[in-house]
A = this chain, B = another copy of it.
Amino acid sequence: MTPIQYQECIEACIKCMNACNYSYVSSLKEYDLALLRDTIRMDRECADICGYAIQAMTRQSPFVAEICRLCAEICEACAEVCNRNVHIQCKNCIQACLDCAEACRQISEAVAVYA
C-alpha cells in the first residue's frame, strides 16, 4: 500500500470534513435550530474523525485499516442523521459522507489484505 493509493480517500475525507463543518456552522444559524441538535453533534463527530483519518493516511499509520473503518462507520451514522432534515447543507453533507464512507471502507479492506 503506497501513499499514492491513499490520495483518493484523503480527498474524500477532506470533502466530507468540509461538508460536515459547513453543515455545522450553517445549522447553528438556522431558525429551527431545535430540530438540528443531533445534526450539529454528528457533524462535529464526523469532521473530527475525517481530520484524524487524513493525518493517519498521510503519515502512513500502521493503523490505517482500523482508523478508516471507524471513519466509515461515523460517516454513515452522520449521513443517516442528516437525512432527517430538509436543509440544503444537510443534503450536501449526506453525499459527502457516503462517498467518504465508501472510500474509507475500500482503503480499510485493501490495507487489511496487505497486512
Q: Which residues of A contact B (CB under 8 A)?
A: 3, 10, 14, 17-18, 21-22, 24-25, 28-29, 33-34, 37, 40-42, 44-45, 47-49, 51-52, 54-55, 58-63, 66-67, 70, 73-74, 77
Contact = CB atoms under 8 A, between A and B. Distances in A.
A28 B37 contact: yes
B25 A60 contact: yes
Contact of A59 (B3, B21, B54): B21
Given A18-B58, A21-B55, A28-B37, A73 B77 contact: no
B73 A45 contact: no
A30 to B, nearest CB: 9
A82 B40 CA distance: 19
A24 B59 contact: yes
Nearest 3 CB-CB pairings of A with B: A21-B59, A21-B58, A18-B58
Contacts of A18: 10, 58
Given A34-B33, A41-B28, A63-B73, A17 B47 contact: no
